[in-house]
Structure 1
Amino acid sequence: MDSKFLQSMNISLDLALEAREIIRGETGQEVPGVRVDKETYDYATVTTVHIEDNNAQVIMGKPVGKYITIEAPVIKENNQQAHREIAQILAEQLKKLFNLPMELNVLVVGLGNWNATPDALGPRVVEQCLVTRHLYNYAPQELQGGMRPVSALAPGVLGITGIETAEIIRGVVEKTRPSLIIAIDSLAARSADRIATTIQLADTGINPGSGIGNKRAGINQETMGVRVIAIGVPTVTHAAIIAQDAIEKYIQSTGGEPKDTSTIIKNLLEPLGGNLTVTPKEIDTLIDDTAQIIAGAINMVMHPGISPEDYAYYLH
């Protein structure tokens, strides 16, 4: 599959790692202005893609910044010990993206539609985050050492509220004046293998809905006036990509010549508006597990003085 097919189907890639893979596959060399670091752990591989200049930004279709991808197939397994280790890896990677004094306020934003399971990751994470900003004003006696003022918001989506998500967040930012926003959202993957097995962190913010062709106003430093770190997990992939992969494998197995199949796939998907995304049948469990991992990592970073055993005391 190449970039021309993705463009013809109006598919954008949420994962910087996938964008790099496709471009490298076409050119046979590293993208100019892109630097890559890789770390290996027992349960995960961590790849950091640095987009360093405007030329690389244009080629990659991603803003200049740092994109950290944690690939961990074990997330799909019922292995709580492994999940805890993935949360610790995520926490360590998150720490690398900011350095704020403990007294400064952080706003956690769970993007997505809580009524649609594949899009409910952000709200599920917010439910499990330790929010403490109110305690500083109303119950300071409940605070322990090593706790940061954290507030959280799940603003919903335009179809539910009638308000652009970015407008809601900007209004909250103007009132609460956080020093950092951490935004969590569901993503679309190029490969079905990456659904609920890959976590991406980016210090460039996020455009909700961009991966499924429903691009909304950006949530980034330019629009919010405060730095935004985005955490995303692929929960869907495009039916057009699955169809293209199946056709390519069939052609390869029969020794046929590669063909432009985008018109066939467009006609096939036309009754569905030309855009169909799919998700695994076990998405409920996958969302719960990934939400727990991400919330655990955020809690570790935001409140290093609190042990996981004490989280329940502060969760409501």
Structure 2
Amino acid sequence: MFQARTDLAIEAREIYEQKNKGHIKDIELDKEEKDNYSVTRVKILNAYGEKRLGKSVGTYITIDVPALKNADQDLKDEISQAMAKELKALIKPNKHTKSLVVGLGNWNITPDALGPKVIDKVYVTRHLFKAYNKTEDEDMTSVSAISPGVMGITGIETSETIKGIVEKTKPDIVIAVDALASRKMERVSTTIQITDAGISPGSGIGNERKALNKETLGVPVYAIGIPTVVDAATMVNDTMELIIESLKNQADKGTEFYSMLEEMESQDKYQLIKEVLTPYMPNVVVTPKEIDELISNLSLIVANGINIALHHGIDLKDVNRYIN
């Protein structure tokens, strides 16, 4: 059966509860509504919840911003601050925290370039701490950053590169930034996910590499991601559901045709999609046409959030002056 591709825990939960017509007892959910955005916290408590959602045990924070695609500077700043607040609450950094920020993805492919673009804007300071032999500062913490590329470019597994850097530089935490996949077009470029459960690079597009988490790297790994693509097959499925709903509205209740539409199972639709798409485009993802501008804006929002969260003496005025 066709499986909807998504990296978002909030969507995995929605899909599971829709399919099983009920709430998952092994998952905690909390939602907070703001004027311009909402924050949803999904906490997977144990192995049962992990198995049901296909996501590792941990906390997944989703910031939904419907207007993010057309955000003005005020909204960008507001979301950077919201992201910094959630990241701080998750990491709980102090003046001595040493961080490694990793920009995952392929800088040659725009929808996959979020991580490398963020690295360009992260305020790195580890070299200054080393040069002045300092362990703390009144405004900054020690931050290093790397964009390791993808195996198709480097010939090296991303996890191997990051593990070597972690062993050599000994950070207290790793923050990985990556482009994600969503199952809903409306969440593409409008949703930010933050988690303490690490990340499996490329999982959303069916190219899963070795996970980056505490078990593989030896230090806590926090992941930040924004969906930049949606699977073509999920778009076809959603379109079919809209068509079926429209036909139901036009059909007379009680007729054989209406009953057929009413009883059509999701599995039937998925199977039909699989049979139709496989010969032509079995592994296609879709991204907005304005993705270049979106990645530029989103990378700035994420980088500002990271800079504010990690550097205790830096605020929005400082990061906006530092980043062009």
The normalised TM-score by structure 1 is 0.92
Check whether the contact 1:47–1:70 (CA below 8 A) recurs between aligned residues.
Answer: yes
Once structures 1 and 2 are overlaid, which stretch shifts more, 26-35 or 251-260? 251-260
Match for residue 143 of structure 2? 150
Distance verdict in 2 for CA 1:249–1:64, change over 3 Å: same
Report the AA paired with residue 311 of structure 2. Answer: H
Q: Offset at 1:54?
A: 1.2
Contact kept? 1:73, 1:197, Cα under 8 Å: yes
User: Aligned equivalents of 1:114 and 1:226: distance in 2?
Assistant: 26
The answer for the alignment partner of 2:19 in structure 1 is 26
CA distance in 2, matches of 1:202, 1:16: 9
Do the aligned partners of 1:269 and 1:276 also contact (CA within 8 Å) in 2?
no
Q: Which amino acid aligns with 2:129?
A: Y
Q: Does residue 99 of structure 1 match 2:102? A: no
Q: Which of 37, 50, 58 does residue 44 from structure 1 map onto?
A: 37
Q: CA deviation at 1:278?
A: 0.3
Alignment gaps of 5+ in structure 2: 249-257
| Cα distance, 1:253 vs structure 2 | 1.3
TM-score with structure 2 setting the length: 0.90
C-alpha deviation, 1:10, in angstroms: 4.6
> Which residue in 1 is equivalent to 2:311?
303
Residue 232 (structure 1) shift:
0.6
Mapped contact 1:69–1:198 kept (Cα < 8 A): yes
Shift of 1:312: 7.0
Q: CA–CA distance in 2 between the matches of 1:273 and 1:22?
A: 23
When residues 64 and 193 of structure 1 are mapped into structure 2, their CA distance, relative to the original with a 3 A threshold, is: same
CA distance in 2, matches of 1:135, 1:311: 18
Tell me the distance in 1 between the aligned counterparts of 2:314 and 2:38: 27
Q: How many residues align?
A: 308
Identical pairs, percent: 46
Among candidates 162, 169, 172, match of residue 176 of structure 1: 169
1:281 aligned onto 2:282: no
The answer for unaligned runs of 5 or more in structure 1 is 1-7
* Matched residue type, 1:154: S
Does the 8 A contact of 2:5 with 2:182 survive in 1? no
Instruction: Work out whether residues 8 and 182 of structure 2, in 8 Å CA contact, stay in contact via their aligned partners in 1.
Output: yes
What letter matches 2:204 in structure 1? Answer: G
Deviation at 1:12, TM superposition (A): 3.7
The 5 A counterparts of 1:121-140 are 121-138=114-131
1:228 maps to 2:221: yes
- Distance in 2, matches of 1:263 and 1:34, equals 29
1:111–1:185 contact (8 Å) kept in structure 2: yes
Following TM superposition, by how much is the alpha carbon of 1:30 offset from its aligned partner in structure 2, in angstroms? 1.3
Pair member with larger Rg = 2
